[in-house]
Structure 1
Amino acid sequence: MKKYLLSTALTATVLFTPAMADAALGDQTLKQGMRHADVTELQQWLKGEGFLHGSIDGIFGPVTAKAVRSYQNSAGIGTDGIAGPQTFGAMGIRNSSVNASASAPNQAAFSRTLRQGERGNDVRQLQQTLKRKGHHSGSIDGVFGPVTASSVRSFQRSAGIDVDGIAGPRTFLALNGGSVKSATSSQTTSNSSTGFSDKLISNARHYIGSPYVWGGTSPSGFDCSGYLQYVFNKAGKSIPRTVASIYKASSKVSSPRVGDLVFFETYTSGPSHAGIYLGGGQFIHAGSSTGVTIANMSSSYWKQRYLGAGRLN
């Protein structure tokens, strides 16, 4: 699975073969001196978790090695600056061949969450599985575009799970025949909330890469709550300006569904940071060191600061 988020200049610099393009992150050890699409993906993961403060350029240099060491230290594993099996295991990224061999004969093996913009064998396998189940009429091209997202949403509706067009753990479990209960209280509630959630998530993703600015409330610069207020307003819902007031206005839920808010205690006691839950343990937010980005709630940083989830009705 590859994201192929390479600029024209980077494409000229980072050389990779078709075999490399088909590999999944975690299939090889990455270390200083390497230039590879897998390094780009590693950097994206590290930046999303708040460990990388350099550029995403596909080059494993000293800055990337420092980010890897920082993550390794937080995860309590060997701190060598090399991204190998132990590091990828701690990240929750496994070798794709191991995943495949461990799967039941007729089950699809997926190594991580898939969403629009991604490419590779994992996407191709997802498309094949969806086609086999009658939910994908497009081509099997390994490109996760609008047609594949629509196919995922079609399957999610039929399986009675959150409809977000993102293929995460719950979707994979359902695809492989597992029993998954809907996170919504009723099908009617699910149908009525899906349209707003889809619009909200689409708006939220549109501003990925926008910089962080303290007090910022526009795409030229957002702070945490300014970003939330902006994208909720774009989706047609007004919300309070500060994280504390948003937290107070929300109905607390034990398990977030797509479009819910997730709250964290960061620089001060009580709710001081928040993001929008995307499903699969991921959320989108305006981070002070990253700008608008997607992060994983199970990372060591966010997991220990998580306060809970809330829903704005």
Structure 2
Amino acid sequence: MKKIIATMTVASALFASPMVSNAAFGDQNLRSGMKNNDVKQLQQVLKQKGYFKNSTTTTYFGSITKQSVVNFQKANRLAVDGVVGSATFKALKVAGSNQSSNTVTAGSKVLKQGMTGSDVQKLQQILKQKGYFKNSATTTYFGSATKQSVVNFQKANRLVADGIVGPATWKALGNSGSASTTSKPSSSTNTASSASKLINTGKKYLGVKYVWGGTTPSGFDCSGFLDYVYKEALGVKLPRTVADIYKVGVSVKSPSVGDLVFFETYKPGASHAGIYLGKGKFLHSSSSKGVGISEMSNSYWSQRYLGAKKINY
């Protein structure tokens, strides 16, 4: 009993302030079905970051709390299991906590159409500085013009284009540079550069044999190849399986160079993926040929194509 009380005391300390501590959460995670004050404090932090949508918080970890955790995990490239363990606690501290002096101070507040306030005007000012808000004057009202400006910014920065300013959009507003009203956002150049690095790195391993479960240049399976290339080229860690990579990606109607293309092969759902090279070709590690380049129009791949997704770097 003393051990349980001590563990819960540590948990409470984690949420003592709006910033979650880096401290470990003992041996106890928070998950569906639990009921205690730590759950309520978790909900409060998720609410501050725009993920918990209920008007009030409770001490019960139910389906709404789990979905809020899942959404947070997806946005922060974590294992998407709805369980709050040490990695999720750490991310809860990091997400939205490093706002620069040029960003909106209310960076953890979700803004959407219909809202009013000084935060909306600050948002418009930043969007105007970056060339997205075209009105001559800014206001405190989040109307259709503001929403369209946000959508355009989100599309240019490879975000979910829903017109809602949540943590991911705040972060991009702070890191995408200060484009003028007559120039393109610097993120366009950064995106092209990242795609080029990704492809050039991947092509270095053309001919490497396929190995089930392989994660190194001595032999790659499909997801092992993608993860290795992303880490080497961009310092990005991908989930281990194609199914999980598919979950964290942002769907697009058609792939751009550097996007991932997904296929349904030996089991239902996404089970194979590759890096889109443009002109209908993609780079991947197949079980028959190892690392190579294939045509999307190939009869085998075209019949199994699921769609394309962007991975936010």
TM-score over 0.5 (shorter chain): no
Q: Of the two, which has the highest radius of gyration?
A: 2
TM-score by length of 1: 0.41
